[in-house]
């Protein structure tokens, strides 16, 4: 290999994926991502891309998923724009050394955490909210000073093309290449060495990604899915509750990682829940969702067939109309659904909403806890005690009470799964931290050697007493710092120890 990277001859023999990764690594090694100015410039340029090219983004998403202009703005663009603005405002704080508490032994030391870039990050996105789940991690990667190879989902054909065309026009194209393609191309990418892989998609492929990452000991963030339960307490205002659930479920035709997958409620309120859901669907999408601009389509016929098959052994409450040629499935509610029904065996990821009657909170808790840990747990109840109890007695990536989806837009909350729904988290500062190495730094001086002598051999009983006292002392310097006596204490300890161990 020639100095400074592979020769031109070698580059021509490398795969497209290898070349992109190699170039990104070389670009990273120039060190140009280290200054915060560079990162901010890239982010401002990305912001311009979203503003100037919104029409291209909207057109592609209309073709891929029948998303409306407003739907694209609300779910894909505003969130990323808000994230960029937040990073621009906060980056200097996040990237600064973070002083930490120290014990008495380190009284004169500098002890801090210095976030540093990891290197080259691979971002593999999904098709359902392609900008939110591909570009939002990219914002974090840029903020943290990494290079990033961006792999949009090939399933959203038009969006992948727009990303491939647009990003190089606005971003440093060596540092942030877009690599398109399907499974073979992604697998070729996964053979390369990365410093972090950020994958969004289903759990089966999540395992493939993690296995590939293990070859290079590459850490991973896995943003996966699963069946997110939605418990409705009988004392809820059912009109408001069902309106919020219908929005969470039927937005993007149910193809949302955090869509409420199924409802758990008392059998006594099931019929009212069905009626209120029916009213909300009509309010949002009219009597004819097929011709409503705000109602989406299933991404492709494979997913259409998969979702239709899920309805087979359950009772229809309403909906179910469909048209394979248009990948259209109406908002659909299924009632009295049995835990063994087809629709309960995997994440639905489509506009079917099963209701499973449960006769008590205990039964709901058992139902939730017997299954994989979900990405989010939805609880609808006016009773704060019940909400607290359900939070305390379950586990999930996140919890949202009395609404759906909106926790995704709270940048001060970590967004991510647990167990089968994923690992790692992002958004706001969590993205920066997730894609940084938190380097522990202890800077000592070469003076005060007398203090150090207590740990050097010969290990006399007296020295051991002192060292034990200092190491086991729970007194931290930042706590002491609150006392006016700190300088005095420092002097006494330092002089005393110097003398003692001379």
Ligand X SMILES: CC(C)=CCC/C(C)=C/CC/C(C)=C/C=O
**Catalytic annotation, residues:** 223, 257
Which member of 132, 337, 356, 451 binds ligand X (CB under 6 A)? 132
Distance (Å, rounded) from C-alpha 92 to C-alpha 373?
Answer: 36
125 binds ligand NAD (CB under 6 A): yes
153 binds ligand X (CB under 6 A): no
Which member of 47, 153, 218, 270 binds ligand NAD (CB under 6 A)? 153
The DSSP element (H or E) to which 11 belongs, if any, is helix 8-13
- Region from 126-134, 311-319, 364-372, 476-484 binding ligand NAD, contact rule CB under 6 A: 126-134
DSSP alpha helix (H) spans, 323-422: 361-369, 384-392
Alpha carbon distances (Å) from 395 to 372, 378, 390, 417: 9, 12, 9, 10
Distance of alpha carbon 291 from its chain centroid, rounded? 33
- Tell me how crowded residue 437 is: count the other CB atoms within 10 A of its CB: 17
Closest distance between ligand NAD and the C-beta of residue 184, in Å?
Answer: 9
458 cis-preceded (ω within 30 degrees of 0) = yes
Distance (Å, rounded) from C-alpha 444 to C-alpha 446?
Answer: 7
Closest distance between ligand NAD and the C-beta of residue 156, in Å?
Answer: 7
Backbone φ/ψ region at 196: left (φ over 0), alpha (ψ -120 to 50), beta = beta
Nearer of residues 295 and 470 to ligand X, judged by Cβ: 295
- Region from 10-18, 73-81, 166-174, 316-324 binding ligand X, contact rule CB under 6 A: 73-81
Which member of 187, 409, 476, 498 binds ligand X (CB under 6 A)? 409
The structure tokens 């909400």 sit at 387
262 binds ligand X (CB under 6 A): no
Largest pairwise CA distance in the chain: 89
190 binds ligand X (CB under 6 A): no
Site string for ligand X, 265-304 (x = CB under 6 A): ----------------------------------------
Which member of 11, 293, 406, 488 binds ligand X (CB under 6 A)? 406
Strand partners for 480: none
74 binds ligand X (CB under 6 A): yes
Site string for ligand NAD, 181-200 (x = CB under 6 A): -xx--xx------------x
Q: Which of ligand NAD, ligand X, none does 201 bind, CB closer than 5 to 8 A by kind? A: ligand NAD
365 binds ligand X (CB under 6 A): no
Strand partners for 334: 316, 354
Which tokens in the block code for residue 261? 């997958």
Closest distance between ligand NAD and the C-beta of residue 99, in Å?
Answer: 33
Q: Which of ligand NAD, ligand X, none does 68 bind, CB closer than 5 to 8 A by kind? A: none
Closest distance between ligand NAD and the C-beta of residue 59, in Å?
Answer: 20
Nearer of residues 159 and 241 to ligand NAD, judged by Cβ: 159
Spell out where 319-471 has E strands: 322-323, 328-329, 332-335, 352-357, 376-380, 398-401, 422-423, 436-443
Residue 408: closest CA among 381, 382, 426 = 426
- Would you say 122 and 197 are in contact if contact means Cβ atoms under 8 Å apart? yes
Q: Which of ligand NAD, ligand X, none does 405 bind, CB closer than 5 to 8 A by kind? A: ligand X
Q: Which of ligand NAD, ligand X, none does 20 bind, CB closer than 5 to 8 A by kind? A: none
Residue nearest to ligand X (CB): 257
- Would you say 24 and 141 are in contact if contact means Cβ atoms under 8 Å apart? no
Q: Write out the binding residues for ligand NAD, residues 229-258 only, by CB under 6 A.
A: 257
Distance (Å, rounded) from C-alpha 199 to C-alpha 52?
Answer: 28
Which member of 58, 80, 95, 133 binds ligand X (CB under 6 A)? 133
Which member of 72, 128, 136, 159 binds ligand NAD (CB under 6 A)? 128
Q: Write out the binding residues for ligand NAD, residues 199-228 only, by CB under 6 A.
A: 200-202, 205, 208, 223-225
**Is 460 in a helix, a strand, or coil?**
coil
Which tokens in the block code for residue 275? 């009626």
Residue 167: closest CA among 135, 123, 142 = 135
Site string for ligand X, 383-402 (x = CB under 6 A): --------------------
Burial class (CB within 10 angstroms; exposed 0-12, middle 13-18, buried 19+) of 259: buried
Count of residues that interact with ligand NAD, criterion CB under 6 A: 28
Backbone φ/ψ region at 280: left (φ over 0), alpha (ψ -120 to 50), beta = alpha
Residue nearest to ligand NAD (CB): 225
Nearer of residues 78 and 490 to ligand X, judged by Cβ: 78
Distance of alpha carbon 220 from its chain centroid, rounded? 11
Q: Which residues bind ligand NAD (CB under 6 A)?
A: 124-128, 133, 151, 153-155, 182-183, 186-187, 200-202, 205, 208, 223-225, 257, 347, 349, 375, 417, 422
Instruction: By CB under 6 A, name the binding residues for ligand X.
Output: 74-75, 79, 128-129, 132-133, 256-258, 405-406, 408-409
């Amino acid at each position: 290999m020639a100095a400074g990277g592979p020769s031109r001859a070698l580059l021509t023999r490398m795969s497209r994926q290898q070349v992109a990764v190699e170039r990104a690594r070389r670009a990273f090694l120039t060190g140009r991502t280290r200054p915060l100015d560079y990162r901010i410039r890239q982010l401002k340029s990305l912001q311009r891309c979203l503003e100037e090219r919104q029409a291209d983004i909207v057109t592609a998403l209309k073709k891929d998923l029948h998303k409306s202009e407003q739907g694209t703005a609300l779910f894909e663009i505003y969130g990323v724009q808000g994230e960029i603005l937040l990073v621009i405002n906060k980056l200097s704080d996040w990237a600064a050394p973070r002083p930490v508490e120290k014990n008495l032994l380190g009284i004169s030391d500098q002890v801090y955490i210095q976030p540093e870039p990891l290197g080259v990050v691979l971002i593999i996105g999904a098709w359902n909210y392609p900008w939110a789940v591909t570009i939002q991690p990219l914002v974090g990667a840029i903020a943290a000073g990494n290079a990033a190879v961006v792999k949009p989902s090939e399933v959203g054909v038009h969006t992948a093309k727009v990303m491939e065309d647009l990003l190089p026009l606005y971003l440093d194209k060596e540092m942030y290449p877009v690599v398109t393609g399907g499974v073979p191309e992604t697998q070729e990418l996964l053979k390369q060495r990365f410093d972090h892989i950020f994958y969004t998609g289903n759990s089966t492929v999540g395992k493939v990604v993690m296995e590939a990452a293990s070859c290079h000991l590459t850490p991973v963030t896995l943003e996966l899915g699963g069946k997110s339960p939605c418990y409705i307490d009988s004392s809820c205002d059912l009109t408001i509750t069902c309106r919020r659930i219908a929005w969470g479920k039927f937005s993007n035709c149910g193809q949302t990682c955090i869509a409420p997958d199924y409802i758990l409620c008392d059998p006594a309120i099931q019929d009212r829940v069905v009626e209120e859901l029916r009213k909300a669907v009509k309010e949002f999408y009219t009597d004819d969702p097929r011709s409503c601009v705000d109602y989406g389509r299933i991404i492709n016929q494979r997913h259409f067939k998969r979702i239709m098959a899920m309805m087979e052994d359950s009772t229809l409450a309403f909906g179910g109309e469909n048209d394979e040629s248009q990948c259209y499935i109406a908002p659909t509610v299924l009632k009295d659904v049995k835990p063994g029904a087809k629709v309960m065996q995997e994440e639905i990821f489509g506009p079917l909403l099963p209701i499973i009657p449960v006769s008590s909170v205990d039964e709901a808790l058992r139902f939730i806890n017997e299954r994989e840990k979900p990405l989010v747990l939805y609880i609808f109840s006016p009773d704060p005690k019940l909400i607290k109890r359900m939070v305390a007695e379950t586990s999930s990536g996140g919890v949202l009470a009395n609404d759906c989806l909106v926790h995704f837009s709270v940048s001060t909350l970590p967004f991510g799964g647990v167990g089968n729904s994923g690992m790692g988290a992002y958004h706001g500062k969590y993205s920066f931290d997730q894609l940084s190495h938190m380097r522990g730094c202890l800077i000592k001086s070469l003076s005060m050697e007398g203090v150090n002598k207590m740990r050097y051999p010969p290990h006399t009983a007296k020295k051991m007493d002192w060292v034990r006292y200092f190491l086991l002392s729970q007194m931290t310097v930042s706590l002491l710092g609150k006392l006016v006596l700190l300088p005095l204490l420092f002097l006494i300890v330092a002089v005393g120890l110097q003398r003692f161990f001379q």
